[in-house]
Structure 1
Amino acid sequence: MEDDARPEAARLTVLSGPSGVGKDSVIELIRARSPWVWLSVSATTRKMRDYEVDGVHYFFVDRPEFERMIATGQFLEWAEFAGNLYGTPRGPVEDKLRSGEPVLLKIDLQGARQVRAAMPDAQLVFLAPPSVEELKRRLIGRGTDDEETIRRRLVHADEELAAEREFDVTVVNDYVERAADELVSLLGSSFLAPARPGSQS
């Protein structure tokens, strides 16, 4: 098996889903177990959290710089959420696809719609919770947000859950390892993580 093997036809795969569904956990596992997958890094104007690394989790820029990037057409998609701007730099994504490398992009529903318009061949994957009740328990149980923030997130989650039918594929995040394996398989590679004892194909 060649370490640098790639899928025959590289494509952009977009991962989206409601807040609290576990997108970050799935992405982090893919980073660790499938390093050949190129994960697009978004730019944002929000403040960097303690555990985050600039250029790894996001490119952290100020609002004037972000707005300059919008004006010069440097984003594949962008959106404003909770007072902060988020966007996917277009150049690196197009460069990787041209070189034959699969690209994985994690964005919200609004961004996924923009990507579908800009790149119709992109594969849109919806990461779904095991149940709506479980998702709401996760959002309420974080313990880091006030009641108004939780209320907004619950409303936003309902909107995103209703948009599932717009996506090409749904992956249920009941177990993060299984969800990560399924997502990697959708990229077209035959080089998945080694099977775990007791796992089923």
Structure 2
Amino acid sequence: MMNVVWPRKAKFAEQLSFKQLSAKLMVKVALFATISVGGLLSGCSTSAPQPPVAEQNADLFDMDSDGVINARDECESTPQGAIINNVGCSEFIETEARDDLHVLFSNNSVKIPPSFDGEVTELARFMTTFPHTLVQLKGYASPSGSDELNLALSTKRAQSIKAALVRKGIASSRITITGFGENNPISAPSVQQTEILSRRVTASVTNTEMRVINKWTIYTSSPAK
């Protein structure tokens, strides 16, 4: 195959004298002036028209940064990261947590048995997790003995649980105690079992709150199963 070489056309600059250059320049200036005057006389403008400006009445800001403009946002303070609907409102679900305490005591004793330390620890952990919860400790005694003795014994048993909770960091103001004496004994097949099961302190703590439903992000992890 042969390579084809296209010859270049040579350009020759025209050598003009100073007078010839001046004459050509004057012709161009005169031609430009004629075109400009003609454009003005014909009503033409050399400036571009200004674009129309739309009047904006809606509030396009998004004060709570939820992705919905203020003009149609019906919920002004949306929690960050929450799932929202078309009008900028988040969704909530009601959650409930509960912890029950049941501690048995020896006869005529107000000392918490070591086997029930975990019950007290768990209640303290629950109340620490939910710092707005309050607890009522209910103390009981077995049916044997005088009413006065059993009432005092049941109150002291509740007090011992309260003291243990305070040592674990729970404020005393969040704990109330009530002694019921030998009232409400536990029914059991034998008298001995009734005695054992009735010497107790019980409590139930419930925390109910509204929790916002958060949307998934790249940092969200699946709940452990």
Task: Between the two structures, name the one with larger relative contact order (CA 8 Å, sep ≥ 6).
Answer: 1
What band does the TM-score fall into relative to the shorter chain?
under 0.3
The TM-score normalised by the length of structure 2 is: 0.21
Q: Comparing both structures, which one devotes a greater share of its residues to helix?
A: 1
Query: Which structure has the larger Rg?
Result: 2
